[in-house]
Amino acid sequence: MNDGHRVDWMVNGLAGDALHKTGKGTLVVAGSGENPGTLNTGDGTVILAQKADAAGRVRAFSEVRIVSGRPVVVLQDSHQIEGDRIRWGYRGGTLDINGNDMTFHRLAAADEGAVLTSRAGSATVRLDFSPSGQKA
């Protein structure tokens, strides 16, 4: 997708299927409900803005992979994806939690290219690395 262009994506993927985002443009993910597909992004901006379905369920992707150091993934709200379902690959990229609080039980980053920021203001990031079933 070219720089300066925007695509509004309102289609959920299938389990085992991946949407690949390339190019400097902006992809706005605005489907509804839980999307069982994954996102691989290597450039540009992706805004996760999935809406709740009739049962109140919402999840933009089952997993997001951020690679190359160029992409920015922005969370519209804290329900878009769980922190543990985000992975930074080679050279990483930026996850902008956009003022939303998040919890991570692991940080899955291949190298120092992973960036976690909140450009919309303060947010709380909770890192809970305690073994399962134990209190931190």
Q: Is residue 79 part of a domain?
A: yes
DSSP conformation class of 91: T
Q: Is residue 1 part of a domain?
A: no
Per-residue pLDDT tens digits for 58-75:
999 999 999 999 999 999
Q: Is residue 103 part of a domain?
A: yes
- Residue 109 pLDDT level (bands cut at 50, 70, 90): very high
Phi-psi category of 3—alpha, beta or left, where left has phi over 0 and alpha has psi -120 to 50? beta
Across-strand partners of 8?
28
Query: CB under 8 Å to 55, separation ≥6 — which residues?
Result: 33
Q: Is residue 136 part of a domain?
A: no
CB atoms within 10 A of CB 116: 18
> Residue 62 has what pLDDT?
98
Q: Is residue 85 part of a domain?
A: yes
Q: Is residue 16 part of a domain?
A: yes
Q: Which range of residues forms the domain containing residue 118?
A: 6-127
Q: Is residue 105 part of a domain?
A: yes
Average pLDDT over residues 81-107: 97
Per-residue pLDDT tens digits for 21-80:
999 999 999 999 999 999 999 999 999 999 999 999 999 999 999 999 999 999 999 999
